[in-house]
Amino acid sequence: MLDPVLVIAASTALAALLASAASHKLRDWRAFNGIVRAYQVLPDALVPAATTSLALAELGLALALLLPAWHGLAALGVVLLMALYASAIGLNLWRGRRDIDCGCSGPGAAQPLRPVLLLRNLVIALLAGLAAVPMAERALGALDIFVVIAAAAVALLIHVAVDGLLANQPRLAKLTGR
Protein backbone atom coordinates (compact mmCIF):
# COMPACT_ATOMS: atom_id res chain seq x y z
CA MET A 1 0.00 0.00 0.00
CA LEU A 2 1.19 3.46 -0.87
CA ASP A 3 0.75 6.73 0.91
CA PRO A 4 -2.45 8.37 -0.34
CA VAL A 5 -0.57 11.54 -1.29
CA LEU A 6 1.35 9.65 -4.00
CA VAL A 7 -1.70 7.87 -5.36
CA ILE A 8 -3.94 10.94 -5.33
CA ALA A 9 -1.24 13.14 -6.91
CA ALA A 10 -0.70 10.60 -9.70
CA SER A 11 -4.46 10.26 -10.24
CA THR A 12 -4.93 14.04 -10.31
CA ALA A 13 -2.10 14.60 -12.80
CA LEU A 14 -3.42 11.83 -15.06
CA ALA A 15 -6.97 13.19 -14.85
CA ALA A 16 -5.82 16.64 -15.96
CA LEU A 17 -3.69 15.17 -18.75
CA LEU A 18 -6.54 13.01 -20.06
CA ALA A 19 -9.12 15.80 -19.79
CA SER A 20 -6.83 18.06 -21.81
CA ALA A 21 -6.25 15.32 -24.40
CA ALA A 22 -9.99 14.66 -24.72
CA SER A 23 -10.64 18.37 -25.00
CA HIS A 24 -8.32 18.86 -27.97
CA LYS A 25 -9.80 15.81 -29.70
CA LEU A 26 -13.37 17.03 -29.22
CA ARG A 27 -12.56 20.65 -30.15
CA ASP A 28 -11.25 19.65 -33.58
CA TRP A 29 -12.91 16.32 -34.18
CA ARG A 30 -12.39 16.48 -37.97
CA ALA A 31 -8.66 16.95 -37.57
CA PHE A 32 -8.52 14.07 -35.09
CA ASN A 33 -10.43 11.89 -37.57
CA GLY A 34 -7.76 12.71 -40.16
CA ILE A 35 -4.98 11.82 -37.73
CA VAL A 36 -6.54 8.46 -36.84
CA ARG A 37 -7.22 7.77 -40.53
CA ALA A 38 -3.54 8.47 -41.33
CA TYR A 39 -2.46 5.67 -38.96
CA GLN A 40 -4.14 3.19 -41.35
CA VAL A 41 -5.05 0.71 -38.62
CA LEU A 42 -8.84 0.85 -39.10
CA PRO A 43 -11.15 0.77 -42.09
CA ASP A 44 -12.22 4.33 -42.97
CA ALA A 45 -15.83 3.55 -42.06
CA LEU A 46 -14.84 2.83 -38.44
CA VAL A 47 -12.71 5.95 -37.92
CA PRO A 48 -15.51 8.33 -36.78
CA ALA A 49 -16.76 5.85 -34.18
CA ALA A 50 -13.20 5.13 -33.02
CA THR A 51 -12.29 8.80 -32.63
CA THR A 52 -15.46 9.49 -30.66
CA SER A 53 -14.82 6.43 -28.49
CA LEU A 54 -11.21 7.43 -27.80
CA ALA A 55 -12.14 10.99 -26.80
CA LEU A 56 -14.99 9.79 -24.58
CA ALA A 57 -12.76 7.09 -23.05
CA GLU A 58 -10.16 9.71 -22.15
CA LEU A 59 -12.83 11.96 -20.66
CA GLY A 60 -14.44 9.09 -18.74
CA LEU A 61 -11.10 7.90 -17.40
CA ALA A 62 -10.22 11.46 -16.35
CA LEU A 63 -13.43 11.72 -14.35
CA ALA A 64 -13.11 8.22 -12.87
CA LEU A 65 -9.54 8.91 -11.73
CA LEU A 66 -10.93 11.60 -9.44
CA LEU A 67 -13.46 9.29 -7.79
CA PRO A 68 -11.99 7.30 -4.89
CA ALA A 69 -14.12 4.23 -5.62
CA TRP A 70 -13.03 4.14 -9.27
CA HIS A 71 -9.51 5.55 -9.45
CA GLY A 72 -7.75 2.15 -9.33
CA LEU A 73 -9.79 0.68 -12.16
CA ALA A 74 -9.52 3.92 -14.13
CA ALA A 75 -5.74 3.88 -13.72
CA LEU A 76 -5.64 0.38 -15.22
CA GLY A 77 -7.78 1.74 -18.06
CA VAL A 78 -5.14 4.42 -18.64
CA VAL A 79 -2.45 1.73 -18.82
CA LEU A 80 -4.50 -0.08 -21.49
CA LEU A 81 -5.14 3.15 -23.39
CA MET A 82 -1.41 3.98 -23.41
CA ALA A 83 -0.69 0.43 -24.63
CA LEU A 84 -3.22 0.92 -27.44
CA TYR A 85 -1.65 4.24 -28.45
CA ALA A 86 1.86 2.78 -28.22
CA SER A 87 0.79 -0.17 -30.39
CA ALA A 88 -0.54 2.13 -33.11
CA ILE A 89 2.61 4.26 -32.97
CA GLY A 90 4.89 1.21 -32.92
CA LEU A 91 3.09 -0.42 -35.85
CA ASN A 92 3.48 2.70 -37.96
CA LEU A 93 7.13 3.11 -36.99
CA TRP A 94 7.67 -0.52 -38.00
CA ARG A 95 5.96 0.26 -41.33
CA GLY A 96 8.37 3.16 -41.79
CA ARG A 97 5.58 5.74 -41.58
CA ARG A 98 7.21 8.43 -39.46
CA ASP A 99 5.79 11.40 -41.35
CA ILE A 100 2.29 11.29 -39.86
CA ASP A 101 1.15 13.37 -36.88
CA CYS A 102 1.02 11.36 -33.67
CA GLY A 103 -2.07 13.28 -32.52
CA CYS A 104 -0.47 13.78 -29.12
CA SER A 105 -0.39 17.54 -28.80
CA GLY A 106 -3.64 18.80 -30.18
CA PRO A 107 -4.44 21.06 -33.11
CA GLY A 108 -1.60 23.19 -34.38
CA ALA A 109 1.14 21.21 -32.62
CA ALA A 110 1.83 18.33 -34.99
CA GLN A 111 4.48 15.83 -33.93
CA PRO A 112 5.86 13.23 -36.32
CA LEU A 113 6.02 9.65 -35.09
CA ARG A 114 9.28 8.81 -33.34
CA PRO A 115 10.41 6.04 -31.00
CA VAL A 116 10.65 8.52 -28.10
CA LEU A 117 6.83 8.70 -28.12
CA LEU A 118 6.79 5.06 -27.05
CA LEU A 119 8.93 6.01 -24.06
CA ARG A 120 6.61 8.91 -23.25
CA ASN A 121 3.60 6.58 -23.29
CA LEU A 122 5.47 4.13 -21.07
CA VAL A 123 6.13 6.88 -18.51
CA ILE A 124 2.43 7.82 -18.54
CA ALA A 125 1.51 4.14 -18.12
CA LEU A 126 3.94 3.84 -15.18
CA LEU A 127 2.34 6.88 -13.55
CA ALA A 128 -1.03 5.19 -14.07
CA GLY A 129 0.39 2.05 -12.48
CA LEU A 130 1.32 4.13 -9.44
CA ALA A 131 -2.24 5.49 -9.32
CA ALA A 132 -3.60 1.93 -9.42
CA VAL A 133 -1.79 0.81 -6.26
CA PRO A 134 -4.06 0.61 -3.20
CA MET A 135 -3.70 3.47 -0.74
CA ALA A 136 -2.91 3.19 2.94
CA GLU A 137 -5.77 4.52 4.98
CA ARG A 138 -5.00 7.74 6.76
CA ALA A 139 -6.54 11.16 7.05
CA LEU A 140 -5.19 13.88 4.79
CA GLY A 141 -4.21 17.19 6.34
CA ALA A 142 -3.85 20.61 4.76
CA LEU A 143 -0.17 20.01 4.00
CA ASP A 144 -1.03 16.71 2.29
CA ILE A 145 -3.55 18.47 0.06
CA PHE A 146 -0.98 21.14 -0.80
CA VAL A 147 1.58 18.45 -1.67
CA VAL A 148 -0.97 16.62 -3.86
CA ILE A 149 -1.73 19.80 -5.80
CA ALA A 150 1.95 20.76 -6.08
CA ALA A 151 3.06 17.28 -7.16
CA ALA A 152 0.30 17.02 -9.76
CA ALA A 153 1.16 20.49 -11.06
CA VAL A 154 4.86 19.63 -11.31
CA ALA A 155 4.06 16.37 -13.15
CA LEU A 156 1.87 18.29 -15.60
CA LEU A 157 4.50 20.99 -16.12
CA ILE A 158 7.12 18.33 -16.84
CA HIS A 159 4.75 16.68 -19.31
CA VAL A 160 4.01 19.99 -21.06
CA ALA A 161 7.73 20.85 -21.24
CA VAL A 162 8.67 17.44 -22.63
CA ASP A 163 5.75 17.51 -25.06
CA GLY A 164 6.81 20.97 -26.25
CA LEU A 165 10.38 19.81 -26.76
CA LEU A 166 9.21 16.74 -28.66
CA ALA A 167 6.86 18.79 -30.85
CA ASN A 168 9.55 21.36 -31.65
CA GLN A 169 12.53 19.00 -31.99
CA PRO A 170 12.14 18.59 -35.79
CA ARG A 171 12.02 22.39 -36.20
CA LEU A 172 15.03 22.84 -33.94
CA ALA A 173 16.94 20.20 -35.92
CA LYS A 174 16.25 22.12 -39.16
CA LEU A 175 17.43 25.38 -37.59
CA THR A 176 20.69 23.83 -36.43
CA GLY A 177 21.24 22.02 -39.72
CA ARG A 178 20.97 18.49 -38.31
pLDDT at 101: 87
User: 79 with 131: CB under 8 angstroms?
Assistant: no
User: 147 with 11: CB under 8 angstroms?
Assistant: no
SS3 28: coil
Residue 64: inside a domain: yes
User: 100 with 113: CB under 8 angstroms?
Assistant: yes
Residue 178: inside a domain: no
Residue 174: inside a domain: no
pLDDT at 49: 95
How many other CB atoms are found less than 10 A from the CB of residue 38? 17
Residue 175: inside a domain: no
pLDDT at 178: 64
Name the helix (H) or strand (E) containing 70.
Answer: none
Residue 132: inside a domain: yes
Confidence (pTM): 0.87
Please list the alpha-helical segments (H only) found in the chain: 4-27, 29-39, 47-65, 71-94, 116-132, 142-176
Domain count, the chain: 1
Residuewise pLDDT in 10s, the chain (178 residues): 888 899 999 999 999 999 999 998 889 889 899 999 999 999 999 999 999 999 999 999 999 999 999 989 999 999 999 999 999 999 999 999 988 888 887 666 778 888 989 999 999 999 999 999 998 888 888 988 898 888 888 888 888 888 777 777 767 767 777 6
CB environment 147-175: b (16+ within 10 A), e (fewer): bbeebbeebbeebeeebeebbeeeeeeee
User: What is the residue range of 123's domain?
Assistant: 4-169
Give 137's contacts (C-beta < 8 A, 6+ positions apart).
4
